[in-house]
Amino acid sequence: MTAKRAGGARGAKKETVKPLISHARIQKRIREMGRQIRKDFPDEPILLLGVLKGAVPFLADLARQIPGEVTFDFIAVSSYGKEAHSSGQVKLNKDLDSSIEGKTVLVVEDILDTGLTLQYLLRILQQRRPKHLRIAVLLDKVDRRTANVHADYVGFAIPNEFVVGFGLDYAERYRNLPHVGVLNFPSTDGAK
């Protein structure tokens, strides 16, 4: 897949997306994760807490694979903005709609890389006294970790590449891809 660079002019070099994880592999792994989550919490209602916006496709598919009572809530934080690298500053943009006290909460995130976003969220959420607080991530970029955060449920460990698709974006683009791919930027050194 190719796409014009954000703000690029006609004839400008294009970004490319190289497929990394197919839609079929993602769906198979999500089914496995759903079974494991329900096995770990066989009789409990589970609140899936989606981290907007990237986690929405993953949360929707995961919810359908967890038998029993499942509810949703959403929280929004930002650390990337329109950049390809995290700013390191995490900001809460949207809080939860209801209390999580005494509930089994599964934070659903598209990707765990530096861990700073999840570290920030866990600190906030633990203060709200959930019964259980677990993390499910579609992608785990272990090589980028700077915070001591580990997911309880991981879809795929991936290399340190900038990935898009299945909810992950670059400047709000590519979220709708049904697969995960590596985003390659045109060379800026004058090479073609």
Q: Which residues are catalytic?
A: 113
**CB-based burial label for 172 (10 Å; 0-12, 13-18, 19+):** exposed
**Token code pair at residue 158:** 């991936």
b/e map of 88-127 (b: 16 or more CB within 10 Å)?
eebeeeeeeeeebeebbbbbbbbbbbbbbbbebbbeebee
- Is 171:4 a contact under the CB 8 Å cutoff? no
* Total Cβ atoms within 10 A of residue 191: 7
* Total Cβ atoms within 10 A of residue 67: 11
- DSSP per position, 94-106: E--SS--TTSEEE
